[in-house]
Structure 1
Amino acid sequence: MRTRPVNWMDNPNADRVKRVAQLAGRSAVRNRRQRFLAEGPQSATEAIRAHLGLLDLSAQTAQFWPKDHTVAEVYYTQRLSSSHPELAGYIGKITGDVFVAEASDEVMHAMSDAVVHQNIIVVAHLPRVDLKPTPDAQLVASMVRVQDPGNAGTIIRTADAAGVDYVIATQRSVDVYNPKTVRSSAGSLFHVPVYTNIDLREFVAAYQGRVFAADGYGDLSLDEAPAAALMQATAWLFGNEAQGLDTDERDLADQRVSVPLYGRAESLNVATAATICLYSSAMAQRGG
């Protein structure tokens, strides 16, 4: 950790501390400064690995998290060396115009959005706003007005695990760079492209595959869906937690698909439904 000269910060009222803390608040601040927080060992590790060029990213994802231009600032406590030595080693490899500082618990607490800080906070650059989703993707997860940060982060994590080409978040969806969403993604935000503020109608019009709407009242049950249908290039639409997909959104889909409920539960959480739907497509597309 000491191979790279670092700064020491112990004043929780310092201007730099306040500027970092502001990134945990309104999305307008993040958008204006083009930066966001990646807190905790998992998110911080993947942000730094992307910065160092250590992730095997697709060309599309590498546009989001370019080598040497993903991380802007790193703050950590002395305990990080013993609790996460590999992460500490990555920090020691950072070069260039990145501000790195060891900080006191008081400073970390003042900057952190979490109830208890996790010994590491990375300030990362937001991706370029001109990046657009490609129309020929094999598998896409679409968050349509999803509002809960935890659900959004979990969907991104699931999408990463299922091998989707990318995720889209439509207008009026939660800010995916909200600290809670970033933490819930457990580092997957840095593995898969997430296109934000997408106009759903324009996306569907351009997309070359089939569009499935995950809908509890859908006319096709997922367990009865033909394998040939699931094997096709597919964009799944996952709706708002309270309202689901509205009529106009459902009408954009080629098929409304429901996840069967075998027990007494009234419905599934949107992130859980997304997991089942995405994996059904992913396994069919991979022949399993």
Structure 2
Amino acid sequence: MNDSILSNPKAPRVKRVAALARKRERQSAGRFLVEGPQAVREVLAHHPEIVDAVYATIDNAPWQLELDRLADAAEVPVERVTDAVLSAMAETVNPQGVLAVARTNAVPLAEALVGARLVAILHEVRDPGNAGTVLRAADAAGADAVVFSGESIDPFHPKVVRSTTGSLFHLPVAVTDSLESAAAGARAAGLTVLAADVRGTELLEARAEGALAGPAAWVFGNEARGLDEGARALADRSLKLPIYGAAESLNLAAAASVLLYETAFAQRAGD
């Protein structure tokens, strides 16, 4: 741990860290921001090898001892900073006392899909909260990988990272330019490609047929537009959730959570 305190919010190093809130800077540096004690704890616990440094204020927070221990075990430097410096570095308006700078660790698509039985493919998903929540749900449901395709938001956007609450560091994440390549990769890995779409057949019908019991890659589309005809054509089957009440629909994150868990239940029942 560095005993000196970084106190100048306008220092070049502070500006370099703050610049990682922008996609162009993340891509150029190959680095991203990990903000908040939960996310920093998870990256130190699961992927300490990608962490360049941890920056923390001195406020005797309950999480500090654990993060210091994890960082020390991984030989990751921890630098104490003032509140003003942390605020200048962070993307959030009210940072929670700690952030880390980590190297982006997206994996090649084929590598992410090796041996996978359950995968979430996000296609043209733009909202960082939705993207992060779907990734978190995929992690909770035991998915093996998450793929961001097309013009989906950068998985290393600070808001995506925060909304995953650490799940970003629990499973492989791949990025691909097109849904065609994501679907082709999934099939090559032995997965059935399922599209979540309101024009599809009923989920209960597919479940009764045993269609959810095998290895599957779910494609989730844009929050407002869903999947277009070309995207649906890339799937082996389109399925929809039944709506029993008066709600017009479920939002993306809620629907993805249900579909991923339904598939996880079916797969485990067949084991």
Q: Give the TM-score of the pair, scaled to structure 2.
A: 0.92
Relative distance call for 1:155 and 1:128 in structure 2 (3 A) is: closer
How far did 1:135 drift? Answer: 5.7
Q: Aligned partner of 2:207: which letter?
A: P
Q: Which residue of 1 aligns with 2:151?
A: 172
How far did 1:130 drift? Answer: 4.7
Q: Aligned partner of 1:123: which letter?
A: V
Q: Aligned partner of 2:225: which letter?
A: Q
Q: Which residue of 1 aligns with 2:102?
A: 124
Q: Which residue of 2 aligns with 1:280?
A: 262
Q: Which residue of 2 aligns with 1:55?
A: none
Number of matched residues?
A: 265
Q: Which residue of 2 aligns with 1:62?
A: none
- Indicate which of 43, 49, 67 corresponds to 1:87: 67
Q: Aligned partner of 1:71: which letter?
A: V
Relative distance call for 1:131 and 1:233 in structure 2 (3 A) is: closer
Q: Which residue of 2 aligns with 1:65?
A: none
Q: 3-state DSSP class of the match of 1:21?
A: helix
Structure 2 unmatched runs, 5+: none
How far did 1:91 drift? Answer: 2.8
How far did 1:263 drift? Answer: 1.3
CA contact (8 A) 2:108 2:174 kept: no
Instruction: Measure, in 2, the Cα distance between the counterparts of 1:129 and 1:224.
Output: 35
Relative distance call for 1:7 and 1:34 in structure 2 (3 A) is: farther
Q: Deviations over 1:243-280 (max 9, x none)?
A: 10010000111111001111111111111110000000
How far did 1:83 drift? Answer: 4.5
Relative distance call for 1:51 and 1:210 in structure 2 (3 A) is: closer
CA contact (8 A) 1:173 1:197 kept: no
- Indicate which of 185, 200, 204 corresponds to 1:223: 204
Equivalent residues in 2 for 1:27-66 (5 A)? 27-52=23-48
Q: Deviations over 1:199-241 (max 9, x none)?
A: 22123223222111100121x2113323411101111010001
Query: Does 2:195 correspond to 1:242?
Result: no
Q: Which residue of 2 aligns with 1:56?
A: none
Relative distance call for 1:28 and 1:234 in structure 2 (3 A) is: same
Equivalent residues in 2 for 1:61-210 (5 A)? 69-95=49-75, 98-127=76-105, 130=108, 132=110, 133-134=112-113, 136-206=115-185, 207=187, 208-210=190-192
Relative distance call for 1:254 and 1:128 in structure 2 (3 A) is: closer
Q: Which residue of 2 aligns with 1:16?
A: 13
Q: 3-state DSSP class of the match of 1:152?
A: helix
CA contact (8 A) 1:80 1:119 kept: no
Q: Aligned partner of 1:74: which letter?
A: V
How far did 1:5 drift? Answer: 3.7
Q: 3-state DSSP class of the match of 1:82?
A: coil
Instruction: Measure, in 2, the Cα distance between the counterparts of 1:265 and 1:200.
Output: 29
Q: Deviations over 1:31-59 (max 9, x none)?
A: 1100000000111001111244xxxxxxx
Q: Give the TM-score of the pair, scaled to structure 1.
A: 0.87
Structure 1 unmatched runs, 5+: 53-68
Instruction: Measure, in 2, the Cα distance between the counterparts of 1:255 and 1:80.
Output: 53
Relative distance call for 1:84 and 1:260 in structure 2 (3 A) is: farther
Moved more, 193-202 or 169-178: 193-202
